[in-house]
Amino acid sequence: MSGTAERLVTGRFAPSPTGALHSGSLVAAVGSFLMAKRAGGRWLVRLDDLDAPRQVPGIADDILRTLESFGLLWDGDVARQSLHLQEYQQAFDELQQQGMLYPCCCSRKELAMMSSAPAADDGSIPYTGICRSGLPHAAAVIRSWRLVVNDSEICFTDERSGKVCQRLDLFCGDFAVRRGTGEFTYQLAVVVDDYLAGVTQVVRGDDLLDSTTRQIYLQRLLGYPQPAYCHLPLVTGPKGAKLSKRDHLVSFQLAAVSARKEALLLEVLRFLGLNPPAELAQVSCPEILAWGIVNFAPEQMPRHSRELTVNDYARGR
């Protein structure tokens, strides 16, 4: 049997329990669900809960109940990053054995002062590499562990954006995989998470497009298979502003959302380029999703991010 045939399509949705879902999160959940199910695959849910200080009590359960209320039912158990610290350490040790890691004493403020290049979309500041040859003195405080990158171009084909290429040395430089305080960064954790779960399809927001080449680089170093990628258009606020975590909240506890969840789900399908028929306004969320699975096509998605129509639905400010 070929390797392709052996790999069941497995998608995932990975929210962080730092606040209730908003409409942008719902778009990512629905988009990843439709992509996996249209291929006859599995759809997993993982809680990216490494950032313990920013987590809000009760929000993890709220996220799961909200997904259920929209008919977004996951396969298998819910995964949690906080349960995989040993696996992150094993990946870190493997990179260290390859000679690909070094300690860095540079603070974020120092990096911002040194760098003339703009920050990446994810807020990371291009690293100049000054600690690559060693710490400036023995008493220096280690603020992060960085991964050595080279000048090779990394390319992948995104199902919506087409071919994307980046040189990591020019885009971000040597990037952090662990903080000096011991916490593993998103870039390393998500690569290990997807490998452990057998994820073959990563569907997420366009704001994470620039992270993909870093993750592919890590996958290659660790010998992991590379998933397929599709980055969805972002939901913006008024006049194209970035959507705040407090805007357009989606929670099963909000009466306005519960009363209009079918209408909101239809708006999400329209946002993703679908044209649901009028009769779907009279059916349940699972029936709307069933129609979406049959009719969804990545090439129909809009090219640009835009605001999602949210008439009669709580803004959650």
Q: What per-residue confidence (pLDDT) applies to 128?
A: 82
Cβ atoms of residues 247 and 315 within 8 Å: yes
**What does the angle CA 88 – CA 127 – CA 143 come to, to the nearest 5 degrees?**
55
Q: Where are the beta strands (DSSP E) in the chain?
A: 10-13, 21-22, 42-47, 79-80, 101-104, 144-147, 153-158, 162-167, 175-179, 201-205, 228-232, 235-236, 249-250, 306-307
User: Is 48 part of any domain?
Assistant: yes
CATH code, 257 = 3.40.50.620
On whether both 106 and 50 belong to a single domain, the answer is no
pLDDT digits (tens, 9 = 90+) for 35-58: 999 999 999 999 999 887 788 889
Q: What per-residue confidence (pLDDT) applies to 247?
A: 61
Mean pLDDT, rounded, for 309-314: 51
pLDDT, mean over the chain: 88
Mean pLDDT, rounded, for 288-302: 94
Name residues whose C-beta falls within 8 Å of residue 89's C-beta, 6 or more positions apart in sequence.
Answer: 184
Q: What per-residue confidence (pLDDT) applies to 6?
A: 61
- Give the HSE-up count for residue 52: Cα atoms under 13 Å, Cβ half-sphere: 5
pLDDT digits (tens, 9 = 90+) for 23-40: 899 999 999 999 999 999
Cβ atoms of residues 292 and 284 within 8 Å: no
CA–CA dist 295, 314 (Å, integer) = 28
208 pLDDT more than 80: yes
Q: What per-residue confidence (pLDDT) applies to 303?
A: 84
**What does the angle CA 165 – CA 171 – CA 156 come to, to the nearest 5 degrees?**
20
User: Is 222 part of any domain?
Assistant: no
On whether both 105 and 177 belong to a single domain, the answer is yes
Tokens of residue 172, six digits: 């971000």
On whether both 248 and 274 belong to a single domain, the answer is yes
Query: Kind of pairing, strands 153-158 and 162-167?
Result: antiparallel
Which range (26-30, 206-210, 248-252) has the least confidence?
A: 248-252
On whether both 39 and 78 belong to a single domain, the answer is yes
Mean pLDDT, rounded, for 237-258: 69
On whether both 238 and 294 belong to a single domain, the answer is yes
- Indicate the residue among 189, 210, 245 that finishes a domain: 189
Q: What per-residue confidence (pLDDT) applies to 255?
A: 59
Q: What per-residue confidence (pLDDT) applies to 314?
A: 41
Q: What per-residue confidence (pLDDT) applies to 316?
A: 39
User: Is 213 part of any domain?
Assistant: no
Mean pLDDT, rounded, for 221-240: 90
User: Is 211 part of any domain?
Assistant: no
- Indicate the residue among 132, 159, 189 that finishes a domain: 189
Mean pLDDT, rounded, for 272-278: 95
What is the residue range of 28's domain? 3-82+233-307
Q: How confident is the model at residue 266 (pLDDT cuts 50, 70, 90)?
A: very high
- Indicate the residue among 122, 155, 189 that finishes a domain: 189
Q: What per-residue confidence (pLDDT) applies to 40?
A: 96
Q: How confident is the model at residue 236 (pLDDT cuts 50, 70, 90)?
A: confident
190: left (phi over 0), alpha (psi -120 to 50) or beta: alpha
pLDDT digits (tens, 9 = 90+) for 68-105: 999 999 999 999 999 999 999 999 999 999 999 999 99
Q: How confident is the model at residue 308 (pLDDT cuts 50, 70, 90)?
A: confident
User: Is 254 part of any domain?
Assistant: yes
User: Is 270 part of any domain?
Assistant: yes
Count of helices and strands (H, E) across the chain: 11, 14
On whether both 44 and 105 belong to a single domain, the answer is no
Number of domains in the chain: 2
Which range (57-66, 156-165, 253-262) has the least confidence?
A: 253-262
CA dihedral of residues 152, 112, 212, 176 (deg, nearest 10): 80
On whether both 151 and 96 belong to a single domain, the answer is yes
267 pLDDT more than 90: yes
Q: How confident is the model at residue 13 (pLDDT cuts 50, 70, 90)?
A: very high
User: Is 91 part of any domain?
Assistant: yes
Tokens of residue 123, six digits: 């807020």
User: Is 200 part of any domain?
Assistant: no
CA–CA dist 120, 23 (Å, integer) = 24
State how far the alpha carbon of 215 is from the alpha carbons of 119, 123, 155, in Å: 18, 16, 12
* Choice between 178 and 242, residue whose per-residue pLDDT is larger: 178
1 pLDDT more than 60: no
On whether both 100 and 171 belong to a single domain, the answer is yes
On whether both 94 and 183 belong to a single domain, the answer is yes
On whether both 162 and 251 belong to a single domain, the answer is no
Q: What per-residue confidence (pLDDT) applies to 168?
A: 95
CATH code, 154 = 3.90.800.10
312 pLDDT more than 50: no
State how far the alpha carbon of 261 is from the alpha carbons of 129, 159, 250, 265, 310, in Å: 49, 28, 9, 6, 11
258 pLDDT more than 80: no
pLDDT digits (tens, 9 = 90+) for 97-120: 999 999 999 887 877 776 655 555
On whether both 113 and 163 belong to a single domain, the answer is yes
Q: What per-residue confidence (pLDDT) applies to 4?
A: 41
On whether both 185 and 240 belong to a single domain, the answer is no
User: Is the dihedral angle over the CA atoms 188, 155, 171, 209 positive or is it negative?
Assistant: negative
CA–CA dist 248, 271 (Å, integer) = 15
State how far the alpha carbon of 28 is from the alpha carbons of 12, 108, 283, in Å: 10, 30, 22
